Amino acid sequence: MQEERRLAVLRAIVQDYVETREPVGSKTLVERHRLGVSPATIRNDMAALEEEGLITQPHTSAGRVPTDAGYRLFVDRLTAIKPMSAGERRAIATFLDGAVDLDDVVQRSVRLLAQLTHQVAIVQYPTLSGSTVRHVELVAIAPSRLLVVLILSTGRVEQRLVEVPADQPAPSEDELADLRRQMLGLVSGARIADAVASLRGLPETISPAQQEVAGQLVEALVEAMSDHRSEGRVAVGGTANLARFGDSFDSSLKPLLEALEEHVVLLKLLGEAGASPAVTVRIGAEGPLQELSSTSVVASGYGPGSDALAALGIVGPTRMDYPGTIAAVRAVARYVSAILNET
Domain covering 86-127+231-342: architecture: 2-Layer Sandwich (3.30)
Beta-bridged to residue 243, according to DSSP, are none
Q: Could you say which of 2.60.40.10, 3.40.50.1370, 3.10.50.30, 3.30.390.60 is the CATH number of the domain covering 130-225?
A: 3.30.390.60
Model pTM score: 0.76
pLDDT along the chain (343 residues), means of 10: 85 92 87 84 91 89 89 88 81 83 88 93 81 88 88 81 82 86 88 85 73 86 73 83 66 71 80 75 86 87 75 91 93 88 65
What pLDDT score does 227 carry? 62
pLDDT at residue 165 in the model:
80
| pLDDT score, position 231 | 59
Residue 70 half-sphere exposure, CB side, CA atoms within 13 Å?
Answer: 30
Q: What is the pLDDT of residue 72?
A: 94
Asked, colleague to colleague, whether 86-127+231-342 and 130-225 share their fold, the answer is: no
Tell me, what's the pLDDT at 143? 80
What is the layout of strands, in order, in the sheet containing 310-317?
234-237, 120-124, 310-317, 295-302, 279-283
d(CA 103, CA 252): 31
User: Residue 229's pLDDT is what?
Assistant: 56
Return d(Cα 303, Cα 154) in angstroms, integer.
7
33 closest CA partner among 50, 13, 63 = 13
Report the pLDDT value the prediction gives residue 275, as an integer from 0 to 100.
64
Q: Which fold has domain 2-76?
A: Arc Repressor Mutant, subunit A (1.10.10)
Strand partners, 140: 146
> If you write DSSP's letter for every residue of 21-50 in order, what string do you get?
-S-B-HHHHHHH---SS-HHHHHHHHHHHH
Helix then strand then coil, % of the chain, to nearest 5? 55, 20, 30
| 263 CB neighbour count, 10 Å cutoff | 17
Domain definitions of the chain by residue range:
2-76, 86-127+231-342, 130-225
pLDDT at 343: 56
| pLDDT in the model for residue 71 | 95
Cα angle, residue 280 at apex, residues 276 and 281 outer, rounded to 5°: 170
- The beta-strand segments (E) located in the chain are 55-56, 65-66, 120-124, 133-142, 145-152, 157-163, 234-237, 279-283, 295-302, 310-317
